[in-house]
Amino acid sequence: MNPGEVYMADLGEATPHPVIVVSREKLNRDDRLLSCCVLPRSLPSALHYLTACPFKRASLALPKICVAQCENIFLVSKDSLEASPIGVLDEVAMRAVIKAVGHMIDSHCEPN
C-alpha cells in the first residue's frame, strides 16, 4: 500500500468512507496500521480551510466531489480496507495533500 492510494474503509460508521493513505510506503509494509485522511462525500464549508483538498469525482471514481480533511489524520487497520484501491492521486494532488498536512502542523512540507 502506497501513499496517495485511495481505499474504501470500514470506519465503524453506517457506510464505508474513502480514505487517502498518507504514511510512507516503508511504514506501510512493516505495520498493520496506515496513516490516512478521510474523504467525506461532501463538505462545502471545508473548502475555505487551508487543510482541505478538493478532488473531482472522476479522478477517484467516487460518486461526488470530495474534500480531503488533511487535519483529520488517523490510523486505519489494513483489515478495514477493501482489497484494491479505488484510485490513486497523481503527483500534483498528492503534493496538495502533503502541503495541507504541513499547514496543519505549521511546517512547510514537500514530498520526497
**Model pLDDT for residues 87-96, shown as the tens digit of each residue:** 888 888 888 8
The total domain count for the chain is 1
pLDDT on residue 81:
92
Q: Name residue 108's amino acid.
A: H
Inside any domain, residue 34: yes
DSSP assignments along 40-80, one per residue: -S--GGGGGSTTEEEE-HHHHT-SS-EEEETT-EEEEEGGG
Q: pTM for this one? A: 0.82
Averaged pLDDT score across all residues of the chain: 80
Please compute the mean of the pLDDT values over residues 33-55 and round it to a whole number: 73
Cell matching residue 23 = 504514511
Convert the pLDDT of each residue in 61-110 to its tens digit: 666 677 888 888 889 999 999 889 988 888 888 888 888 888 777 777 66
Inside any domain, residue 35: yes
Provide the residue range defining the domain that includes 85. 5-104
Inside any domain, residue 110: no
In which band, very low, low, confident or very high, does the pLDDT at 21 lie, cut at 50, 70 and 90?
very high
Q: Name residue 81's amino acid.
A: L
Inside any domain, residue 45: yes
Inside any domain, residue 112: no
- Tell me how far apart the alpha carbons of residues 102 and 105 are, in angstroms, rounded to a whole number: 5
Which helix (H) or strand (E) segment is 25 a member of? helix 25-30
61: domain CATH number is: 2.30.30.110
